[in-house]
Amino acid sequence: MLTLSLLLGPPLLASCLSILVRRHARLVGWAGVAGLSLSFAASIALCVEVVTGGSATAGHALPDLWHIDALSALVALCIAFVALLASASGPGLVGRDDGYDEAQTRRFRIFTNAFAFTMLAAVTIQNVALMWVAVEATTIMSAMIIPLRRTKASVEASWKYLLICSVGIALAFTGTVLAYFDFVATAGDVPGSLNWTALRAAAPSLHPELLQLAFAFILVGYGTKAGLAPMHTWLPDAHSEAPAPVSAMMSGVLLAVAMYAIARWKAVVDAAVDPAFTCNLLIGFGLLSVAIGVFSLVIQRHYKRMLAYSSVEHMGLVSIGLALGPLGVFAAWLHVMNHAVAKSTSFLLAGRVLHRYDTTEIEKVTGLLRVMPWTGPLFAAGVLALVGLPPFGLFVSEFLLVRAAVLTRRFWLAGIVLLLLLTAFVSLLGHLNRMLYGDAPAGVRVGERGGWAVATLAVSIGLLVAFGVALPSAISTLIHQSVAALIP
Amino acid sequence: MSRFLALVVQTLVAVALAPALTGFIRWLKARLQGRRGAPPWQPYFEIRKLFGKEAVVSHTASWIFTATPFVVFSTAVVVASLVPLVVVPSGPFVAGDLFAAVYLLLLGTFFLALAGLDTGSPFGGMGASREMTVVALTEPTVALSIVALALNAGSTSFSQIVAHTLAEPSAALGSEHLLAFAALFIVTLAETGRLPVDNPSTHLELTMIHEAMVLEYSGPYLALVEWGAALKLLIFLALAANLFVPWGIALSFSPVALLIGLVSLIVKLAVLSAAVAVLETRVAKLRLFRVPELLSASFVLALLAVMSTFLAR
Amino acid sequence: MNALFSQLVMLGSSGMLLTALIVLWRKSVPSYISAYRWQAWLLAAVTATVAYFAGDRQLFAVAAALVALKGFAIPALLRTMQQRFGAQPQIKPYVNTETSLCVAGLLVMFAYVLARPWMAVTHLPTRGGLPLAMALLFVSLFIIVSRRKAITQVIGFLMLENAIALLAVVGTYGVPLLVEVGVFLDALMGFLVMQIFVYHIHETFDTIDVEQLTHLRH
């Protein structure tokens, strides 16, 4: 109970603090960072608790609303980590000019903390409808901070995001109501009937066609939030126009939260319907996402949009992984974790590049290695990690994914995925090359002081290498337990 | 009273009442607009006057021009005998049902359009093409409303439909009934040339639809055409009333039932024509290219009525 | 008794669907706002009817909250928004009126076909409203996709929320109260944020025609 309140409380309190206290802005900002580090520590404690204590935390201490098993703990860990990283890179913390005024900085703090709170709530609540409420709240909170600087592009991006994701979420609620409708029609109105555990237990007695239809709605709905094609059209705009810390949170973990919801529902529906149904749907959407993400990477001209499309591709890979049996699910969640770290770091580094070069176009950013001797190599490392090169963690998860495809005798899928990953490799590397080498453009200050901000990002990259070379056994156990929670 | 006689009397009553209906609507509109207006029986005087005048026919007109008024009037009279006005027609003398009634009326409209073209006058041609546009758009709606009613009753014959509604009073409140009624009401306004589709009292030729087609008629021909149009309005309004609110209609041929049927018909017609008059006072005429929007809306209403009917099974 | 219950619910649900059709038919934003207000009142009426016949007291509270929030507050806010933007030039929607209405008819048919298996599953007297709720859902989606004024898209989204609320009431006699409260809060917050965004769009672009929002491509 204590760990849970330490997990959820600090972001909420930090948000309220930012609303109420207007002076001593920098102090408030640092208080928020401190709160999120407390959350991060709590999430680590929760993971330890789950790994040692079995697949569910002490239920008697928690009210019936919350239920934390291995999967929740894993995703909560990713969320807390990325939130901490993003908030530490936020504006107004150090004296230098970030380009945001006081009102914008305050709005940033209020809504980023609220955003982190709603994401954490979404993965720890076990009532499906309240989880939905939390996911809808994440849309609203994040939409408020995308147009931090009110330009035409950012207003357009945030309007598309808000409308498309709200519609998607409404469809997901329709699916939820349909499943609940089936439950009530079969079993009557039982208290606690909207909890995962109850739905899963009752699933074999529910009607297959209804659940299939409900899952279709849910996949389309939460898939819109997760950036699966063809509902991904909001993603490149929103993720590229948002300020870098917000993009990091959205790309890194918000997509993962949506995939979490889909995975939970898949477990429920698979108990009633032949798993081939959900697997085929997930593979279909996933493959489409990977294809569209990769091909959009080829013609890309803005580096932030490039990173955004890479998210679409990776979420497609996760979706495919969820459909490939236990090894695939393991690979999927490992991929989610690695991607959260890699993508958030890359976006934060891209933010630094944007601040220095003042342009988002790839061809106008040249000589990165010389202009920013700290950020440049780190950014290169981030992009190489996203491409899936060893020794970074994403290589391991992608390898396991392909292996899972082969093990389940879907050789064609393995082949197509490998081909698409190769295309992504070539395009991303091409873009990266153009950015790293060459002469510095006129008017851009050369040279960079190292600071603690860059140091934290270097640590993240180091984490990625660590995950790739030697995954700590605790994390491995945690992911195994998550798989067991989904596939009994 | 024998069936045949009752039907003949019903037809004569309808023919006699029709001009009064149009007169009543005109009088009510005048009162609503703050004028005194001509008395409700003014159209009788107009018809008598027109019968006494000489008919002038263009040299270029063919037999269609002279035949059309008779076609229009006679089809309306035949339909008046088929449709449940005072009494529900049933038995061996009745040769048609709902489809027959509607499409006989359409025959009259078709001939009227031809006559508009026949004289070669530009306004006639314009009126004919506009009327055909409107009619083409109302046809699907009429068919669907009929289908909605018939599905419920299991047959398109009037007696069945009326009997079904009388047997199940709560069905009259049902959404399919109300939707079909709304669709049929809009269609009535369109087919009989009332606002908001067509202004029956306009003098500006470019705003006319029905009036433009009959612009060339004079004397007895004009009298027949006007009477036929009035009869058509009575039939449509009586259909709308008796199919959806059938209480009061005579089910047997006893004099008492017939009298009650007549009185209830007059009451229902008065209510509906008052509604038409109020509507005409409130809305403005739609521009021609907006008419399809109104008619699509009525089509969707009829479609929803059919959907609801399927659901109720 | 059950027949009356069924008829009333069907009447209310059909009314809600018809108000959505009004948005496809009419062209002026004040008429959309009136249509939405009617829809909200009809939803509250249906909820109260279910509360009365099913004997569920909580639903009365839900109906009251619906009237307060969606029957009064949101239309008032919409009207302020509408007055703020003054006279906007006639912005043609992406799909014209006749086609929109025909597409709406097709969507209603699709919803009926989709809802057939569900109606067979349940024995609730309100099951006739299920296809109507789904039809309202699809028509609202169509409104969002085919209209060009940002404020109309917001109204389409609000109608989508109404459709889901109707689905919950008709299919399961409402969801647990806690969920209901959460969904209400979400709806209110979502609407407020959308309102803020329409203001932003107007300030930045000087129009609320979303066709102008085309800066971001590829």
| Domain residue spans of chain C | 2-212
CA distance B112 to B122: 15
Tokens of A462: 């180091």
Test B304 with C105 for CB contact under 8 angstroms: yes
Please write the tens of the pLDDT for every residue from B225-277.
999 999 999 999 998 888 888 888 887 778 888 888 889 999 999 999 999 99
| C101: nearest CB among B174, B300, B307 | B300
For B285-298, write each residue's pLDDT tens digit: 888 888 988 998 99
Chain-centroid distance of CA A452 in Å reads 25
- Is B179 in the C-facing interface, judged by CB distances under 8 Å? yes
Q: Which of A143, A184, A237 sits opposite C172 (nearest CB)?
A: A184
> B296 to chain C, minimum CA–CA distance in Å?
6
Q: How far is A160 from chain C (nearest CA, A)?
A: 9
The per-type count for chain B, helices as H runs and strands as E runs, is: 11, 0
Min Cα distance C98 → chain B (Å) is 5
Q: Which two tokens stand for residue A328?
A: 């695939």
Please name the residue that has the structure tokens 């960079």. Answer: A448
Question: CA nearest B182 in C: which residue?
Answer: C18
pLDDT digits (tens, 9 = 90+) for C37-88: 999 999 999 999 998 888 888 888 889 988 998 999 899 988 888 888 766 6
CB contact under 8 A, B303 and C11: no
Are residues A143 and C193, on separate chains, in Cβ contact within 8 Å? yes
User: Are residues A136 and C186, on separate chains, in Cβ contact within 8 Å?
Assistant: yes
Q: Higher pLDDT residue, B111 or A27?
A: B111
- Chain C interface mutation, best of A15, A146, A155, highest count of C Cβ atoms under 10 Å: A155
Sequence-ordered list of residues with C-beta below 8 angstroms from that of A229, at least 6 positions apart, any chain: A285, A288, A289, A291, A292, A293, A312, A316
Q: What's the pLDDT at B179?
A: 87
Predicted local confidence at residue C187, as pLDDT: 82
Query: How many angstroms separate the CA of residue A451 from the nearest CA in chain C?
Result: 34
- CA-nearest residue to C116 within chain B is B311
Q: Pick A79 or A488 by higher pLDDT.
A: A79
* Residues C130/C119, Cβ–Cβ less than 8 Å: yes
Return the domain boundaries, chain B: 3-312
User: For residue C214, which residues of chain A lie inside 8 Å, CB to CB?
Assistant: 156
pLDDT at residue A422 is higher than 80: yes
Closest residue in C to A139 (Cα) is C190
Q: How many residues does chain A have?
A: 488
pLDDT for the residue numbered A397: 92
Average pLDDT, chain A: 87
Note the pLDDT tens digit of each residue in A279-334: 999 999 999 999 999 999 998 889 999 999 999 999 999 999 999 989 999 999 99
Q: Nearest CA to B194 among B134, B241, B143, B139?
A: B134
- Residue C168: which of A136, A177, A299 has the nearest Cβ? A177
The predicted-structure confidence for B17-32, as pLDDT tens digits, reads as follows 999 999 999 999 999 9
Distance from C-alpha of A278 to C-alpha of B146, rounded to nearest angstrom: 44
The ipTM (two decimal places) reads 0.88
Residue A141 CB burial class (10 angstroms; 0-12, 13-18, ≥19): buried
C9–B contact, CB cutoff 8 A: no
From the list C118, C175, C204, the residue facing A129 with the nearest CB is: C175
Using the Cβ of C42 and the Cβ atoms of chain B, whether some distance falls under 8 Å is answered with: no
The per-residue pLDDT of chain C, averaged, comes to 85
Q: What is the mean pLDDT of residues A433-450?
A: 82
Residue with tokens 């300020």, as numbered in its chain: A243
What is the pLDDT averaged over residues A241-253? 92
How confident is the model at residue A58, as a pLDDT? 46
Nearest C-alpha in A relative to C143: A167
Contacts of A155 (CB under 8 A, 6+ apart): A147, C197, C200, C201, C204, C205, C213
Minimal Cβ distance to A167: which of C141, C171, C213: C141
Chain A residue numbers touching C114 (CB-CB < 8 A):
213
What is the predicted pLDDT for the residue at A423? 93
Q: For A461-465, C132-136, C174-178, which range has the lowest pLDDT when averaged over its residues?
A: C174-178
Q: Percent of chain B beyond pLDDT 70?
A: 96
Residues in C closer than 8 angstroms to B311, CB to CB, are 112, 128, 131
Q: How confident is the model at residue B1 (pLDDT cuts 50, 70, 90)?
A: low
Q: Is the pLDDT of residue C175 over 90?
A: no
Distance (Å) of CA C191 to CA A108, A149, A352, C69, C182: 20, 22, 34, 11, 14
Which member of C137, C172, C196 has the closest CB to residue A181? Answer: C172
**Residue B146: band (very low, low, confident or very high) from pLDDT cuts 50, 70, 90:** confident
Query: Are the CB atoms for A141 and A115 separated by under 8 Å?
Result: yes
**Nearest chain C CA: its distance from A362 CA (Å):** 14
Q: How far is C28 from chain A (nearest CA, A)?
A: 22
Task: Determine the Cα–Cα distance for residues A17 and A333; give it in Å rounded to an integer.
Answer: 34
Q: Which residues 145-174 of C are in CB contact (within 8 Å) with A?
A: 150, 153, 157, 160-161, 164, 167-168, 171-173
Q: Which residues have a Cβ under 8 Å from the Cβ of A449 and sit 6 or more positions away?
A: none
Once rounded to an integer, what is the mean pLDDT over residues B34-53?
93
DSSP letters for A213-263: HHHHHHHHHHHHHHT-TTS-THHHHHHHHS-HHHHHHIIIIIHHHHHHHHH
Alpha-carbon span B111 to B104, nearest angstrom: 11
Local confidence band at A224 (pLDDT 50, 70, 90 cut-offs): very high
- Residues of chain B with pLDDT > 90, as a percent, come to 44
Q: What is the pLDDT of residue C86?
A: 61
pLDDT tens column, A37-71: 999 999 998 888 888 876 455 444 556 677 788 88
What pLDDT does residue C87 have? 61
User: Is B311 close to C104, i.e. CB distance below 8 A?
Assistant: no
Peptide linkage before A236 cis (omega within 30 of 0): no
Residue A170 and residue C157: Cβ atoms within 8 Å?
Answer: yes
β-bridge partners, A66: A125
Q: Above 60 in pLDDT, residue B92?
A: no
